[in-house]
């Protein structure tokens, strides 16, 4: 059974700065992989490189055994890489339902089927009652769930979450954690970039830590959290 | 030998015309550099300058250069007013909004001129129109020479303003980073108003310098000149004054040489082709830093 | 959807009634319908896909010239010429878009102006192609089923069919997968890509559709003018008029461009006595008003208020 995602020796350079330095990771099917690290560690850059939004200088990315290095983001999405965006990007002029309709059309070209898929995804994330509301009226927590619904609507084989927990108040956070857990239980492989440790500890099967563009630790959540290298990276060398 | 002379003649003409293009371009690039606005009405301000000179010539018999101070002052005030009323409110909207706004202004100016002066093309005939000054075997038209002189003086003054005065520093700071400039206390609203006014004043000056050379029609000349101005600044690199000068000179030469040696019917097309090529392959211009691209 | 279909029927009815009500104003009616069609076609690229083109007069010119030259030099009936014109227009759009879609916003617009200008210069100078600056005169046209294509009334019905056709296309677009892809790309290209959409492909399709439809209108326009000069047809000012008609009426809406055409061409007629050729002044004033006070255009703003009010009511109920 091939890994859901394999990234080998990914190197990303911006101008003269090495943002990601030979990082490798592997995501198994049905697993939740957490990607953490202090600000500026290169997590989001790595994430964007894997999903195709940022060019890589060196390295390979394979998705379920197929090479996707160099493919544009929409090709990767067509293969089943679903992703959310850190600054939520609803299509503001459209309603909530229409927002999910757009990605739903990928696998369901006919309007009626796309609409049922979109509604189903809205129900999955608990937004079905707001289907006809203009998307720009949603609050933060609901926007996050909309992002998730959009990613799910392409019927992905793996989900890539970019800090979906940030800024949520405690009840909303619990809800989101529950949602991600249930998605994983359905068999979806998930890679999540996160700052919120509560979510990482509860959800991740495996965690990778980045600092200054390099992988400095990897393993089970509890082991990684108590790793002195990791603690030092987060707190600085004081 | 005759070919060499003719080449030199063409080159000198191209340079001088290029000088005027440079003046038009400098105004546009100043506005773009500070406000990130693509001023569609720029050519129409040039035409406005032309008509100002025409008006004074017709009513008072003045030589165009006498009306220059009036044109500059009027251009500055008009620009200030337009910036305040139309552009300031939309400063945070996407770029195409200001493009459409200036398009609207262009239509208003052009058509108001049409209503006031009628549709026939106008020019100003000066007594020294066909006078030339010899430089070796090459003859340089006095009008072009005067235009070139005005260009040098004006651009020199602009340079002085930008690099040797306090206000000039505020302008450059705002161009660099508007938010940052505000944080250090610069009144960017005032800066933008002044800059737009300067840009339009420069345009009107170019108009005054050009009217003895060209015929102006109220609605068409504006668009042609605006397009030329865009070519100039894209050639040189958007937002950089020295580069705009270089761009203007280059355009002048491309046009004259193209018309002389390839085909004069497509004179205007050479600049456009170069413009497209640069836009597509080196949008930062021949001298510039990177510019927005997908 | 029902609303849009109803609107189309209304337009058909109004169009059929018009020649009876205002028989002396047929030319104005044709102009309104042509602009409505052109602006709606423009809007597919400019409003739905969000790429502002100021070079659409090129496609009008292509349509008109193909009909003229087809009739005069090759004895082709207009519908064949129009078909060829559509093909030519779409090819031009493909090539043009392929080159320039990587340019952001205003730079794309600038490039459309440059390309249209170059085409205009070619049209003026290449006598063998277009009859040069002196233009082409369409002296004869075939008479299918005995219909006289020079007859104003016939041209009116053709223009009506054109407008209805283009608006009908957009109505279909609004519910279709392609329409949603366009809107997504316009709003946020990255998010659209994450949804599996190839932005360049989508924009190219929009451009080709837009240009082809515009060319059809150009063909009808050619028949109406019967004497074609390149500087009227390929002119920047015509491109600007088309674009502003759509923007003032409301970009990205189904009926906005039609409303814009009625308003602007109508106002132009009303002011023609006072302003003569300066009726473009109205365009200038209106675009400023729209930008400052009605950013989504007339119909766009109306839509916004309606949607808000409808949602507010249902949320309370």
Q: What is the DSSP string of B101-128?
A: HHHHHHHHHHHHHHHHH-SS-B----TT
Task: Write the residue in C105, C109, C281 that is nearest to B111 by C-beta.
Answer: C281
Angstrom distance (rounded) from CA A101 to CA A157: 19
Residue C183 to residue A85, Cβ atoms within 8 A: no
In a domain, B291, yes or no: no
- Same domain membership, residue A208 and residue A121: no
Question: How many Å lie between the alpha carbon of C200 and the closest alpha carbon of chain A?
Answer: 11
Share of chain B above pLDDT 90, in %: 15
Residue C128 pLDDT grade (very low, low, confident, very high; cuts 50, 70, 90): low
Residue B187 pLDDT grade (very low, low, confident, very high; cuts 50, 70, 90): confident
Tell me the pLDDT of chain C averaged across its residues: 86
Give the residue numbers spanning the domain of A149: 93-154
Instruction: Give pLDDT tens digits for C214-231.
Output: 999 999 998 888 788 777
Residue B223 to residue C111, Cβ atoms within 8 A: no
Statement: residue B210 has pLDDT above 50: yes
In a domain, B89, yes or no: yes
- Same domain membership, residue A67 and residue A47: yes
Q: How many angstroms from the chain centroid is the CA of residue A11?
A: 19
Tell me the pLDDT of chain B averaged across its residues: 82
Q: Which residues of A touch C178 (CB under 8 A)?
A: none
Statement: residue C316 has pLDDT above 60: no
In a domain, C101, yes or no: yes
- Same domain membership, residue A231 and residue A161: yes
Q: According to the model, what pLDDT value does residue C317 have?
A: 45
Statement: residue B288 has pLDDT above 70: no
The count of domains in chain A is 2
Q: What is A89-116 written as a DSSP string?
A: ---TTSBHHHHHHHHHHHH--SHHHHHH
In a domain, C255, yes or no: no
Question: How many Å lie between the alpha carbon of C202 and the closest alpha carbon of chain B?
Answer: 15
Q: According to the model, what pLDDT value does residue C240 have?
A: 92
Q: Which residues of A touch C315 (CB under 8 A)?
A: 133
What does the pLDDT average to over C266-279? 73
Any B CB within 8 A of C103 CB = yes
Helix axis angle for A140-152 and A111-125, nearest 10°, is 130
Residue C176 to residue A111, Cβ atoms within 8 A: yes
Angstrom distance (rounded) from CA A238 to CA A209: 20
Angstrom distance (rounded) from CA B92 to CA B179: 12
Any C CB within 8 A of A34 CB = no
Task: Write the residue in C115, C121, C247 that is nearest to B100 by C-beta.
Answer: C247
Any C CB within 8 A of A91 CB = yes
Q: Which residues of B touch C123 (CB under 8 A)?
A: none
SS (H, E, C) C63-125: HHHHHHHHHHHHCCCHHHHHHHHHHHHHHHHHHHHHHHCCCCHHHHHHHHHHHHHHHHHHHHH
Share of chain A above pLDDT 90, in %: 60
List the helix and strand counts (H, then E) for chain C: 15, 2
Q: Which residue, among B86, B101, B104, would best test binding to C if mutated, counting the most C CBs under 10 Å from its CB?
A: B104
Task: Write the residue in C196, C307, C311 that is nearest to A74 by C-beta.
Answer: C196
- Same domain membership, residue A162 and residue A148: no
What does the pLDDT average to over C131-160? 77
In a domain, A88, yes or no: no
**A5, A50 in Cβ contact below 8 A?**
yes
List the subunits that have 3+ CB pairs under 8 angstroms with A: C
The count of domains in chain C is 1
Angstrom distance (rounded) from CA A22 to CA B73: 61
Residue A118 pLDDT grade (very low, low, confident, very high; cuts 50, 70, 90): very high
Instruction: Give pLDDT tens digits for A38-72.
Output: 888 889 999 999 999 999 999 999 999 999 999 99
- Same domain membership, residue A202 and residue A102: no
Using alpha carbons only, what angle is made at residue C111 by residues C105 and C117, rounded to the nearest 5 degrees?
145
Which residues make beta-bridge pairs with C64?
none
**C220, A145 in Cβ contact below 8 A?**
no
Q: According to the model, what pLDDT value does residue A31 have?
A: 92
Q: According to the model, what pLDDT value does residue B293 have?
A: 32
The count of domains in chain B is 1
Residue A82 to residue C184, Cβ atoms within 8 A: no
CA of C300: which chain A residue's CA is closest?
A93
How many Cβ pairs closer than 8 A exist between chain B and C?
122
CB atoms closer than 10 angstroms to residue A182: 11
Top mean pLDDT of A77-81, B89-93, B133-137, B259-263 is at A77-81
Residue A51 to residue C195, Cβ atoms within 8 A: no
SS (H, E, C) C275-303: HHHHHHHHHHHHHHHHHHHCCCHHHHHHH
**A158, A188 in Cβ contact below 8 A?**
yes
Top mean pLDDT of A223-227, C18-22, C243-247 is at C243-247
Q: Which CATH number is A9's domain given?
A: 3.40.50.300
Residue B292 pLDDT grade (very low, low, confident, very high; cuts 50, 70, 90): very low
Q: According to the model, what pLDDT value does residue B163 have?
A: 85
Residue C280 to residue B219, Cβ atoms within 8 A: yes
Which range, of B118-132, B151-165, B206-220, C33-47, averages the lowest pLDDT? Answer: B118-132
CB atoms closer than 10 angstroms to residue A71: 17
ipTM, 2 dp:
0.90
Task: Write the residue in C175, C196, C198 that is nearest to A103 by C-beta.
Answer: C196
Give the residue numbers spanning the domain of C86: 2-239
Q: According to the model, what pLDDT value does residue B5 have?
A: 78
Statement: residue B255 has pLDDT above 60: yes
Q: Which of A130, A154, A178 is the last residue of a domain?
A: A154
Q: Which residue has the tokens 């508007």?
A: B178
Residue C276 pLDDT grade (very low, low, confident, very high; cuts 50, 70, 90): low
What does the pLDDT average to over C104-124? 82
In a domain, B270, yes or no: yes
In a domain, C281, yes or no: no
Q: According to the model, what pLDDT value does residue A238 have?
A: 41
Instruction: Give pLDDT tens digits for C62-86.
Output: 999 888 888 877 877 888 889 999 9
Residue A93 to residue C198, Cβ atoms within 8 A: no
- Same domain membership, residue A181 and residue A67: yes
Q: Please state the pTM of the whole predicted model.
A: 0.87
Give the residue numbers spanning the domain of B71: 2-281
């Amino acid at each position: 059974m091939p890994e859901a995602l394999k990234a080998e020796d990914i190197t990303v350079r911006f101008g003269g700065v090495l943002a990601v330095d030979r990082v490798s990771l592997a995501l198994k099917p049905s697993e939740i992989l957490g990607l953490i690290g202090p600000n500026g560690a290169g997590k989001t850059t790595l994430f964007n490189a894997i999903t195709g939004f940022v060019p890589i200088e060196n390295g390979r990315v394979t998705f379920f055994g197929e090479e996707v290095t160099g493919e544009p983001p929409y090709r990767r999405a067509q293969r089943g890489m679903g992703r959310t965006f850190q600054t939520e990007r609803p299509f503001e002029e459209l309603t909530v339902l229409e927002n999910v309709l757009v990605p739903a059309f990928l696998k369901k070209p006919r309007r009626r089927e796309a609409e049922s898929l979109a509604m189903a995804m809205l129900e999955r994330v608990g937004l079905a009652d707001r289907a006809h509301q203009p998307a720009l009226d949603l609050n933060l927590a609901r926007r996050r769930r909309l992002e998730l619904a959009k990613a799910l609507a392409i019927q992905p084989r793996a989900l890539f979450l970019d800090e979906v927990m940030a800024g949520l108040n405690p009840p909303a956070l619990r809800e989101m954690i529950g949602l991600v857990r249930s998605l994983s239980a359905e068999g979806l492989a998930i890679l999540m970039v996160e700052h919120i440790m509560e979510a990482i500890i509860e959800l991740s099967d495996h965690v990778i830590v980045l600092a200054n563009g390099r992988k400095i630790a990897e393993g089970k959540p509890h082991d990684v959290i108590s790793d002195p290298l990791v603690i030092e990276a987060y707190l600085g060398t004081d | 030998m005759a070919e060499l002379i003719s080449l030199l003649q063409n080159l000198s003409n191209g340079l001088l015309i290029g000088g005027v293009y440079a003046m038009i371009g400098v105004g546009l690039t100043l506005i773009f550099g500070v406000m990130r606005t693509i001023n569609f009405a720029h050519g129409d301000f040039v035409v406005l300058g032309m008509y100002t000179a025409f008006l004074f010539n017709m009513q008072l018999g003045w030589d165009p250069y006498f009306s220059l101070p009036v044109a500059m002052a009027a251009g500055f005030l008009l620009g200030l007013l337009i910036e305040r009323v139309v552009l300031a409110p939309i400063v945070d909207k996407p770029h195409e909004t200001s493009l459409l706004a200036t398009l609207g202004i262009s239509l208003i100016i052009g058509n108001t001129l049409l209503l006031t002066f009628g549709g026939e093309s106008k020019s100003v005939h000066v007594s020294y129109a066909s006078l030339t000054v010899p430089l070796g075997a090459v003859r340089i038209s006095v009008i072009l020479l005067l235009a070139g002189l005005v260009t040098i003086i004006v651009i020199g003054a602009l340079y002085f303003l930008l690099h040797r005065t306090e206000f000039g520093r505020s302008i450059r700071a705002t161009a660099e980073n508007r938010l940052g400039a505000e944080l250090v206390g610069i009144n960017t609203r005032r800066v933008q108003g002044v800059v737009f006014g300067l840009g339009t004043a420069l345009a009107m000056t170019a108009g005054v310098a050009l009217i003895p050379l060209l015929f102006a029609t109220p609605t068409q000349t504006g668009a042609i000149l605006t397009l030329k101005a865009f070519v100039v600044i894209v050639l040189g690199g958007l937002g950089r004054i020295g580069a705009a000068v270089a761009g203007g000179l280059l355009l002048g030469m491309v046009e004259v040489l193209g018309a002389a040696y390839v085909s004069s019917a497509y004179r205007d097309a050479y600049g456009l082709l170069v413009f497209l090529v640069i836009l597509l392959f080196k949008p930062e211009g021949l001298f510039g830093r990177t510019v927005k691209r997908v | 959807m029902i609303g849009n279909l109803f609107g189309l029927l209304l337009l058909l009815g109004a169009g059929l009634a018009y020649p009876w009500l205002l028989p002396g104003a047929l030319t104005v009616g044709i102009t309104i319908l042509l602009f409505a069609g052109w602006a709606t076609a423009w809007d597919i690229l400019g409003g739905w896909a969000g790429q502002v083109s100021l070079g659409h007069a090129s496609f009008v010119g292509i349509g008109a010239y193909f009909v003229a030259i087809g009739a005069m030099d090759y004895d082709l009936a207009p519908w064949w010429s129009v078909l060829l014109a559509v093909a030519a227009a779409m090819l031009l759009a493909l090539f043009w878009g392929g080159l320039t879609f990587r340019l952001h916003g205003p730079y794309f617009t600038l490039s459309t102006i440059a390309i249209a200008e170059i085409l205009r210069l070619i049209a003026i100078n290449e006598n063998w192609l277009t009859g040069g600056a002196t233009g082409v005169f369409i002296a004869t046209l075939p008479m299918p089923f005995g219909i006289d294509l020079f007859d104003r009334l016939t041209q009116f019905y053709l223009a009506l069919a054109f407008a209805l056709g283009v608006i009908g296309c957009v109505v279909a677009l609004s519910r279709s997968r392609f329409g949603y892809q366009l809107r997504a790309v316009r709003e946020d290209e990255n998010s659209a890509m994450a949804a599996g959409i190839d932005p360049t492909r989508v924009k190219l399709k929009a451009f080709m559709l837009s240009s082809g439809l515009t060319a059809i209108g150009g063909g009808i326009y050619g028949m109406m003018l019967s004497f074609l000069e390149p500087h009227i047809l390929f002119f920047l000012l015509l491109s600007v008029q088309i674009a502003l008609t759509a923007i003032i009426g409301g970009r990205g809406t189904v009926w906005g461009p039609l409303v814009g055409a009625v308003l602007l061409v109508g106002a132009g007629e009303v002011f023609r006595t006072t302003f003569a050729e300066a009726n473009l002044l109205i365009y200038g004033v209106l675009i400023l008003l729209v930008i400052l006070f009605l950013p989504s255009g007339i119909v766009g703003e109306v839509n916004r208020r309606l949607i808000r009010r409808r949602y507010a009511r249902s949320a309370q109920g």
